[in-house]
Amino acid sequence: MGKEVRTIGIVGTGIIATSLAVLTTGHGFRTVVYARSESSAKRCLNDYENHWKSMVGHGLATSEQADICKTYLVISSDYKDMADAEIVFESALENPDVKHGIYHILEETCPKVKAICSVSSSIVPDVLAETCEKYGDRIIVTHPFNPVHMVPYFELCGGKNTAPGVIEYVYRLLEELDRKPVVLKKPTPGFIGNRLQFALWREVLALVEEGVAEPRDIDRALQYSFCPRYTSIGIFEHFDNGGLELNRTTCRNLFPIISDTKTVPKCIDELIAEGKTGVKAGEGFYDWHGVNMDAYRERVNAPYWKFCQWDLPKENM
């Protein structure tokens, strides 16, 4: 289709916002990023350039192409510079009051906005829109996974007052950005991705607490058993293929013993109490001292580079 959107606004300069800017400029959209301060603007630009260096290093762009994409980027501390934006991605703190303040500013400064897309991972659209005077019917959740320019999945969710056509409009843009969006029938905390991820997380923590296996062995089970399967087929496809009669029998055997805890598992609280809070502390479930973090990050990103085969803009903005 021809481009329905010519200018995209992004509010925020964090990891999600900056990665979004790589994605949008890499597809030839003029992108205006709002930065609260000069220091946050500099950090955003530095991170943006580093993302493109990685793209170049993996043979997905040339330095010249990265420079062209950069001409589509504007980082500004004035909301008026995104006055032409048809879509704005809001990537602010997970605080409704902060987000409400941003929406009021957008109502005043962005007359062309057809959709405001919050990347919130926990706040439903009705709460996001509750204080809006003009744009409440065009605020939706578009929840991505980090890094946004590499992980193609987006979860879209509207509220009870979302205007007809808003979700479809954003859906078309995301497809133009080479994303794989899905639309939820109704809001739910955690949406789809995090509900699945944390259901699995709850069960692996239960296996540790029950003394069934060590974290490293559980990670090995995930890496070398069923997880690779789900990069090419879906779970419903898999169990349909295996037969639902067998599936029903397994459900009867396993569901009574699978964890249904409603509180934070004891092993998490114990590690935090010991100061073992993860990578930054040097230890969590794993000992991270001496680990080559560049190599680790390369492993994290390895499955996703294949999704960065874009038709990059060929001319400066």
Portions of the chain given CATH number 1.10.1040.10: 193-273
Return the pLDDT at 1.
40
Return the pLDDT at 145.
96
Return the pLDDT at 260.
96
Average pLDDT over residues 250-259: 97
pLDDT higher than threshold 70 for residue 154? yes
Average pLDDT over residues 178-206: 95
pTM here is 0.93
Amino acid letter, 1:
M
The listed CATH number (3.40.50.720, 3.30.930.10, 2.40.30.10, 3.40.50.1110) that belongs to domain 7-191? 3.40.50.720
Return the pLDDT at 190.
87
Domain 193-273 has CATH 3.40.50.1240: no
Task: List, as one string, the DSSP characters of 172-221.
Answer: HHHHHTT-EEEE-SS--TTTTHHHHHHHHHHHHHHHHHTTS--HHHHHHH
pLDDT higher than threshold 80 for residue 2? no
- CA-CA distance, 65 to 315, in Å (whole number)? 9
Q: Percent of the chain scored above 90 by pLDDT?
A: 96
pLDDT higher than threshold 50 for residue 62? yes
Does residue 4 contact residue 173 with C-beta atoms inside 8 Å? yes
Portions of the chain given CATH number 3.40.50.720: 7-191
Instruction: Tell me the pLDDT of the chain averaged across its residues.
Output: 96
pLDDT higher than threshold 90 for residue 5? no
E-state strands within the chain: 7-11, 30-34, 73-76, 87-90, 115-118, 139-144, 153-157, 180-183
